[in-house]
Structure 1
Amino acid sequence: MVYKAMFVDDEYMILQGLKMILPWEELGFEVVYTAKNASEALDYLTDHTVDLLITDIQMPEMNGIEMIQQAQITGNHFFSIILSGYQEFNYVKQGMALGVRNYLVKPVNKQELRKSVIAIAEELAQQEHLALEKELYQESSLLLWLNDELNESEYQHLLAVQQVSVAPPYTVLQFMGDSKQLAAIHQLYQKQKQPFRLPGKIEEGQLTVIAVGERQKVIDQLNQVIEDIQGSWQVIVSETAAAWEDVYHAYEKIKQVQSLQNFYPDLFMAEPIIPVSILERNEEQPLLSFNKALTIGDRKTVQAELDDIFDTLTQAQADPEHVRYTAFLLFNDMYRQLPALSDENHEVILHKIKEAQSLADLRELFDDILRLVKSQPSQKRYSEIVQKTIQLIEEGFTHDLTVKAAAEDLHVSVVYLGQLFKKETEMSFNQYVNRMRIKHAQKLLLQTTQTVSEVGDSIGYNNTNYFSKMFKKLTGLTPKEFRDRYSQQYESLD
């Protein structure tokens, strides 16, 4: 890495001498600019950055200390060394307050300057290393967050490391396009100080951003991005996630849309913005609530959500292609959560959705799906190793179960099992365990008089507060609300 150095002095010979006094390139620096006064230097810093600034203290109009102070006020960050014709304690004191690294008396001692420059280069390298570590940690944490593997304390730690104080809601953006365009988009969001960005797949044509703000606000901002960065890129915009725990739901919908885009490209128009929405316009219609209704597993609740969605589509006179697109999203959720649906069912139903001629056809199809789920047993649609993993989860979910322990029992690598399990079930190991626990908790809440705390303990959650949060995260209800609402009228989907 070559660092940038700038010299400021009102004496031409001093500026030339500074260029010659040390082998700057050998020490890792490029002298990018020299200025004969503070005004010139500040003008340069308006549009450029430097890593090291060496300046005279006494100059016309503005001295070196005042210049450094002004540069810092406008957001510049650099190491600085001050030169002076004599020692002046007051200047030294002011320089220390501004973080000046050294105060050298003219004529400059070559060895002392070299020593200071080497120390600064080492510190810059250390800062770079720490910044890279922070970036890798951030990207790793964001991936965990998007895949529902980040707990609340880890989420708070991520915010602390990022040194940001943000509050929900969030909107997930998945950009697709040329790597140069995506790099420009990433830079734009960086300038806007959007803290949650995953640039790691830009070279593969993808950029993920967890934008802070509700969807319509984010879409309004995207319209400006479209004006600023021309090209054929597209972005899928999630529903608004009202809480950090819902971000992974929003991201899952984006992945479903990407899958649909790959298999059924004719479903999607050429516009750059593709909203995850049941309407062509950008009104919010919470598909997330349908996902939670499926987790609750009550037939009337799921039917009510479907009726609400289809009624909204009818009232909006939605375009047929968009109605089919919505039906794909709804069915993908059902297939993922309802093991009674087989691979064969999946193929047949997808074909029926694609060929549906009316909204009434689709309503009838979803009624048929609910009847099918009720009438046929759970299907073994996974590979043998994933089936065995599910069996281990069913037998041990009340204990502290980890993918590492499961991998050891099955004599396979942790990475292999984790990836295979996620690929086939579309859930991480931890997600599956939590869903299994919550489904069992629902039975206990409906069929026993155990307290919420006792139910949590019996399914493997030692902390009642954490159990309640996880229950609400997956169902949209607290354990008490679930018991109160369904204790007298619960009809299981299967």
Structure 2
Amino acid sequence: MLKMLLVDDEPLIVQGLQAVIREFDEEIEIIGTAKNGMEALTHFANEPCDLVITDIKMPKMDGLQLIEAWKKEQPETKFIVLSGFQEFEYVKRGLAIGIENYLLKPLNETELLETITQIKEKVEADFQATGDDEAYYILRDNALWRWLNDRIGIEDWKERMALYKMPLAKEMRTALVWIQPMYGQVDRTADGWHKLQSHLRAEYPFMLLNPEEELLIGLMAEDEAGIAAQITTVYEEIGALIGVEQCFFLMSEVGTGTAYFPKAFRGLEQLLQERLVSSPGTLISADKILPHRWRPNFSQHQLARALVLQEKEKTLTWLDNFFTEWEAHLYESDPHQVIRVLSEVALMMSESDPEQLLKAIRRLDGAATPCELKTTMLELIHPFFDRNQHDDNSKSPIIQKIISYVTEHFTEGMSLKTLGAKFHINAVYLGQLFQKEVGSHFTDYLNQYRVNHAKEVLMTTKQPVTVIAEESGYTDMAYFYRQFKKYTGYTPNGFRKKEKVQ
């Protein structure tokens, strides 16, 4: 990560630079800003900094004086100088003390960003040249990870390949292996773990650590037999150093060339949930997945009722029974269906809190074992029942939102399904909760509200019935007439005549 300091006595210039740089590359860290050279030297000279962008003319200490003093503390820092004037003496002095570029205000954004890109590559290359392995591999692994996640363009990637001296291997057969140590099972500070990393880095150019400190290895060979031999070797090396039973192994299908690796990674992501029905230490790959003969039998209405009626013990019993039945059919089950069911349950308990729901879904998707899944569900269930111990006479926040929404949008089309999607809550659970707290089915409540509105307009205006029906939320006149008579005992015209007589 490139660390940068901005020095200029014009606040608008500093703000503009911050905006442009952050939009250009989110990995650049701006360690601070200063109004003049003295302030920059006093507050930041002892902090690691790769690049200083500084104005020339500033009070107390100008840009060139800052550079000369700074280099005594951090000689490796690079500098870009800004000026409002093309002054030859300043340019000459700047070149003499080793600036990277001299840019005139108003700044040419393209030239600035090109210069920053060149400096970033120099800094990365310097890490490699000085033998700073840890810093070099952090930078390289970050670049590889961004590439696997399609966050680097092809031209940018080719430049980085050249920078890190990595082969393109256009004609070779390739595959990607993802090795995930089980949480809490592997000591990542132990010698065996570090020896494994060093050994794999030396043997495989495309080995990296992702942000979760899991290993990804790009295999390259002349044919598929060579790929199979390499995965066997990797498996044996891991077994010797940390134990294969402590890890999950995911392997992509075989492709051609290193350009295949991002696609291979997307395939591996699709295999993640297969960990739930696989034993640690076994190889998980698309061609080795067993047929999914068992799927969970899930009654939404039964569970929704238990949640609505605040029956915590019944809910916990349902959860225990679900996991007991699943584990009895574990290796023939479809993990995607299991996650779908548990996600629906999480949706019931989210109470229209999108942030809570998103966290829950991410944890469910990321779980590697049934135990992790059950723990996640229990961490949702207990707070849900604690949160809902409100006064029996009050309405829960989600029902209050629904009633308020109906009041403001009753003329629009809506149903439990559309409201569930809008407010991020399971539709079945919402329907049962609404009936419990309001005392009627949602459809009855909505029709009653719309008919009451229509009655008011019929009594106070001379608008045609067709217009009133549409303004009350009805597009089907026959349905409007049926609902109006159901709740009033009259047709719309009959009701209007009755009210006039009275």
Give the TM-score taking structure 2 as reference length: 0.29
Higher Rg = 2
Give the TM-score taking structure 1 as reference length: 0.29
